[in-house]
């Protein structure tokens, strides 16, 4: 079967259609609830009027400038995290792999909390989180490599250990942080969207990542079966 087309791997025809439709519907419902529910309720009629460009000024400000950008930003971030987890599970051939288990999220949290303790904010906090995630990635891959080579099991176990270490550092930073900065640090760890701006950039990134990853879906599914079977089916 060498050189066979990986797209011919048997699978249930349209087995993904129903779950995908249900998940899409659930996402729309969640977005609607995120916009409608809050300290000031928004009725479905008011929400529909605002989306059509009508409604009073207060409702338009509440929906279009406050809640909708935050809801769309949360949707984009959640989608990117889900995609990262799915790709990691395929490449590491383990259903437990995700950015949290591998320590990437812990490194990002430590970077952001250190920046907050230093008194910086905004873009510098985001940049520090990215630097922390990148540093954690290098640590995990470096420790997992050792004197041999990378294997999915070694990467995953190393990531679990590093994630536990980052968790301890996060607890230490929270315990020594000034009282006035503690709420902001906790909100960031919980996923604070108070400062979320225009959601165009994360949504565009999610769209581009989806367009790149979806055509590779069948090949990645074959790769998840192991390198030998993937090579036999023509997947590099």
Q: Are 135 and 111 in contact (CB under 8 A)?
A: yes
- Domain contains 74: yes
Find where tokens 């990262």 sit.
84
Find where tokens 């605002």 sit.
50
Same domain, 106 and 193: yes
CA dist 179 and 185 (Å) reads: 10
Same domain, 160 and 170: yes
Same domain, 86 and 115: no
Q: Which of 112, 222, 92 is nearest to 174 (CA)?
A: 112
- Domain contains 35: no
Tokens of 131: 């630097």
CA separation (Å) from 136 to 45, 50, 75, 160, 166?
47, 44, 25, 12, 9
Q: Kindly report, residue by residue over 196-213, the tens digit of the pLDDT.
A: 778 888 899 999 998 988
For residue 86, what are the domain limits?
56-98+199-236
Q: Which of 220, 211, 202 is nearest to 86 (CA)?
A: 220
> Quick one: what percent of the chain has pLDDT higher than 70?
92
- Domain contains 5: no
Per the structure, the count of domains in the chain is 2
Same domain, 129 and 172: yes
Same domain, 110 and 184: yes
- Domain contains 37: no
Same domain, 139 and 155: yes
- Domain contains 75: yes
More confident of the two residues 4 and 103 = 103
Same domain, 93 and 205: yes
- Domain contains 213: yes
CA dist 175 and 111 (Å) reads: 16
* Statement: the pTM of the whole predicted model exceeds 0.85: no
Same domain, 88 and 107: no
Same domain, 109 and 181: yes
- Domain contains 168: yes
CA dist 98 and 159 (Å) reads: 10
Q: Kindly report, residue by residue over 139-178, the tens digit of the pLDDT.
A: 998 888 777 667 778 888 888 999 999 999 999 999 989 8
User: Residue 62's pLDDT is what?
Assistant: 84
Q: Kindly report, residue by residue over 10-48, the tens digit of the pLDDT.
A: 454 456 788 888 988 998 888 888 888 877 878 888 888
Q: Kindly report, residue by residue over 167-195, the tens digit of the pLDDT.
A: 999 999 999 898 888 988 998 898 888 77
Instruction: Give the SS3 label for residue 5.
Output: coil
More confident of the two residues 1 and 105 = 105
Same domain, 167 and 121: yes
Same domain, 194 and 204: no
Same domain, 91 and 112: no
- Domain contains 38: no
């Amino acid at each position: 079967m060498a050189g066979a087309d990986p797209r011919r791997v048997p699978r249930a025809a349209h087995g993904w259609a129903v779950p995908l439709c249900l998940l899409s519907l659930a996402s729309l419902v969640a977005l609607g609830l995120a916009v409608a529910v809050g300290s000031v309720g928004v009725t479905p009629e008011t929400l529909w009027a605002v989306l059509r460009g009508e409604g009073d000024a207060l409702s338009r400000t509440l929906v279009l400038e406050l809640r909708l950008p935050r809801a769309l930003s949360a949707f984009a971030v959640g989608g990117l995290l889900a995609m990262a987890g799915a790709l990691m599970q395929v490449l590491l051939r383990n259903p437990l792999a995700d950015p949290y288990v591998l320590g990437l999220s812990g490194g990002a949290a430590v970077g952001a909390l250190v920046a907050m303790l230093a008194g910086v904010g905004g873009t510098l906090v985001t940049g520090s989180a990215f630097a922390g995630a990148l540093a954690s990635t290098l640590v995990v891959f470096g420790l997992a490599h050792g004197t041999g080579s990378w294997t999915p099991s070694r990467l995953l176990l190393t990531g679990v250990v590093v994630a536990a270490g980052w968790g301890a550092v996060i607890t230490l930073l929270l315990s020594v942080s000034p009282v006035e900065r503690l709420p902001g640090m906790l909100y960031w760890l919980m996923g604070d969207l108070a400062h979320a701006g225009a959601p165009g950039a994360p949504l565009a990134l999610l769209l581009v990542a989806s367009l790149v990853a979806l055509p590779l879906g069948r090949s990645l599914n074959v790769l998840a079966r192991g390198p030998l079977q993937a090579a036999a089916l023509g997947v590099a």
